[in-house]
Amino acid sequence: MLQKVGQIAINAKDVERATAFYRDVLEMRFLFAAPPKMAFFDVGGTWLLIGEASAPEFDHPSSILYFDVADVAATWQVLKDRGVRFREDPHVLHRQEGKELWMASFWDTEGNTLAVRCWK
């Protein structure tokens, strides 16, 4: 049966611009580019496909992807310094059993929403 998510696709109007953002700004591990206008990255064992929509019904922003990081505030600062546009500053999303779930969301170059999160 289903064991894990193997790949997630994110739409891009400009694949070269999006590839530069994910590779150079977010520092994701670039795997390869494939025609027509697709780029593949490895994010902790899950492939991320950045590409043009294959049909009109798929041409819309992606679901929100939440990336686990060691420190939301530090990651927020690094990405902000690299020109990433954040929707919100880091904030507590949830508290439980003496720990807090912190999150901050941002946009990629194609208008998709992404987020970073961590437990403190």
pLDDT in tens, 81-117: 999 999 999 999 899 999 999 999 999 999 899 999 9
Strand partners, 8: 48
Which residue type is seen at 55? A
Task: Characterise 78 by phi-psi region: left (phi > 0), alpha (psi -120 to 50), beta (else).
Answer: alpha
CA distance 6 to 80: 29
Residue 2 has pLDDT above 90, yes or no: no
Q: Is residue 16 part of a domain?
A: yes
pLDDT value at residue 115: 93
Residue 54 has pLDDT above 90, yes or no: no
Could you tell me if 61 and 109 are in contact, meaning their C-beta atoms sit under 8 angstroms apart? no
CA distance 104 to 47: 22
* CATH number, domain with residue 99: 3.10.180.10
User: How many domains does one find in the chain?
Assistant: 1
Instruction: Show the domain range for 90.
Output: 7-52+61-119
pLDDT digits (tens, 9 = 90+) for 3-44: 788 999 999 999 999 999 999 999 999 999 998 899 999 999
59 pLDDT tier (thresholds 50, 70, 90): confident
Q: Is residue 1 part of a domain?
A: no
Q: Is residue 2 part of a domain?
A: no
In 3D, which of 33, 45, 53, 25 has the Cα closest to residue 116?
25
Instruction: List, edge to edge, every strand of the sheet that includes 113-119.
Output: 65-68, 113-119, 99-107, 91-96
Residue 1 has pLDDT above 80, yes or no: no
In 3D, which of 110, 116, 115, 105 has the Cα closest to residue 39?
110
